A and B are shown apart, each in its own frame.
Chain A
Amino acid sequence: MSKDDSLGESLRKQGISRRAFMKFCAATASVLALPPGMATVMAAALSRARRPSVIYLSYQECTGCGESLTRSFSPTLESLIFNAMSLDYYETLQAAAGTAAEAARKTAMKENWGKYLLVVDGAVPVGNDGVYCTIAGESAVDILTEAAKGAAAVVSVGTCAAFGGIPHANPNPTGAVAVSQIVRDKPVVNVSGCPPVPEVITGVLAHYLTFGSIPELDHLGRPKVFFGETIHDRCYRRPFYDQGKFAKTFDDEGARNGWCLYELGCKGPVTYNACATVKWNQGTSYPIESGHGCLGCSEPDFWDKGSFYQALSTGTWSGATVLGVAAVAGAAIGVGAAVVSRRRQAHLDNEKQPKEKQP
């Protein structure tokens, strides 16, 4: 397969039928909430598209995002990512190692300067000059800065890349930051989630291939088409929330009846993601459908928002000290005020008594 093949040619060479390709386009257009007619436009655009170079960088991450990506629920989708695009650098999947791998990255960057798509997963540590994450002797922050200069656009895959994620969580010993805090002069799409829904990743890439631009983003840089609604609003358990029916434990009658998991700490009401609509594992289910509340993993700092099992309406307390001190101080001032008042009354009584004795 030549790198200069169009997508349509490369798919044909791999034995992927036109019918299968059209089904993929229709599914992707549907996922992106585009009108049905756009599936044909998408198919035409993708067929003509030259396989773009993709450089996939991984930093402070657990490879969960990569795992998610490889479980994209259709072979056609997998084929799109790994064959239809020229994946020129991805440590998890590439055969090359050591200097050969780094040379492949540099060659791809040079040959496609200004045109390649830069995909990043993992947060970027900037503490102590970035020594906490180095590859081939270069720090993550230096590699990212250099790679971003020649990128057409940057896709931050996963909450770590999008918002700092777990490496950024308190106390953040490595000074981990989001990709968007390093790359400020290029469009950055945040595909958050821990990990993100695979179809959301591929949907964003397909959108870029089709329209040559990044999709419309929300205020956190996430594609609105996937992150426009909360899990709660699209949750099949929502009617139980409205009826006031809640599971109290993970194995009580309410849980068995599929009642709302709000009391068990579900963060669905404030979490924007496509889990409830696109779902996971070939559209099988999503965490809430499997009986566990939403952790809010596609939101910034989800790791530092209190217990996953505390209901959203409860507070996140620093401890009992502030309340204890306030109670003691209030009681002390109340007693003090009463004592001052009593003394004043006694003083007034003493002043009053001699006068009463006067004739």
Chain B
Amino acid sequence: MNLLDFARGPALEWSFAIFLFGVLWRLLGILLLRRVHDYSEPRAHRAALGALQAIVRRTWPRKEFRARTTYGLAISYVFHVGLAIVVFGFVPHILLIRSLLGVSWPGLPGAVIYFSAVVTLAALVMALIRRLTHPVLKLLSNFDDYFSWAVTIAPLVTGLLAVAHYGGRYENLLAVHILSVELLFIWFPFGKLMHAVLFVLARGQTGVVYGRRGAST
């Protein structure tokens, strides 16, 4: 078994298994927690609407904070959208998803993917520089932040190297790319990458509380 066989076989299977294990553990562990009773009289009966509003509206900065958050938010948008294009637009990735979930969609041309990957890479580097230089963000950051950043950028770097056939034989570069994605899968449930799932719950819960109190979400 060579490195590519290992990456496509047992490593992929076990990384998915750990991903599934961790995500279900954390999700059920949170969803089944006891709710804190709010004995106050509700000022409005729009908990569900409040949850939905919070999930949607908080994807955009409030006017009051815009001046301070626009730069960070712009970087975040660029690398999130870029990652989405690369992950969900590249045909080999779509084929992997189809083999797992049975759903597929048309892919994008290679040039669009490669351009998005380079832009995403640049945005991630800018995000790291901001984290390292921002006086508050620097203090708030821990190992989880830096490691989550590393496992996110690694598949992009290895993917671009594989596409360019730079740094080794293609099958080895491809194997390293797949292994880097597997590292992301393994880390995903246990670090801050889990925000990709938990942001819905966190925003939703805030929206429920605010909605009940009749506050703006």
Contacts and interface: CB of A to CB of B under 8 A. Distances in A.
A and B from one complex: yes
B24 interface: yes
A168 to B, nearest CB: 13
Contact of B174 (A262, A270, A331): A270
B92 A322 contact: no
Interface string A301-319: 1000110001111111110
B5 A301 contact: yes
B91 A262 contact: yes
Interface in A240-258: 241-244, 246
A341 B36 CA distance: 13
B176 to A, nearest CB: 13
B164 to A, nearest CB: 12
Contacts of A335: 28-29, 32
A269 interface: yes
Contact of A334 (B1, B32, B91): B32
Interface stretch (B73-81, B102-110, B119-127, B196-204): B102-110
Contacts of A270: 4, 170-171, 174
B8 A316 contact: yes
Contact of A333 (B25, B96, B109): B25
Contacts of B32: 334-335, 338-339, 342
Contacts of B2: 300-301
B140 interface: no
Contacts of A93: none
Consensus secondary structure, chain B interface: helix
Nearest to A316: B9
A342 B26 contact: no
A96 B206 CA distance: 89
Interface string B26-47: 1111111110000000000000
Contact of A338 (B5, B8, B23, B29): B29
B17 interface: yes
Consensus secondary structure, chain A interface: helix
Contact of B28 (A310, A323, A338): A338
Given A270-B4, A335-B28, A322 B17 contact: yes
Contacts of B8: 305-306, 314-316
Contacts of A97: none
A88 interface: no
- What range describes how many residues of A lie at the interface? 35 or more
A20 interface: no
Nearest to B175: A270
B65 to A, nearest CB: 33
A311 B95 contact: yes
A293 B27 CA distance: 42
B3 to A, nearest CB: 11
Contacts of A241: 110
Interface in A208-242: 230, 232-233, 241-242
B21 A327 contact: yes
Nearest to B15: A315
A323 B23 contact: no
Contacts of A313: 92-93, 95-96
B20 interface: yes
B17 A230 contact: no
A234 to B, nearest CB: 13
Given A269-B174, A270-B170, A305-B5, A315 B13 contact: yes
A107 interface: no
A244 B17 contact: no
A184 B205 CA distance: 68
Given A230-B170, A301-B5, A316-B8, A326 B110 contact: no
Given A262-B92, A270-B171, A315 B21 contact: no
B34 A326 contact: no
A242 B109 contact: yes
B110 A315 contact: no
A281 interface: no
A345 interface: yes
9 contacts: A301-B1, A310-B99, A316-B12, A322-B13, A331-B25, A333-B21, A338-B28, A341-B34, A345-B34
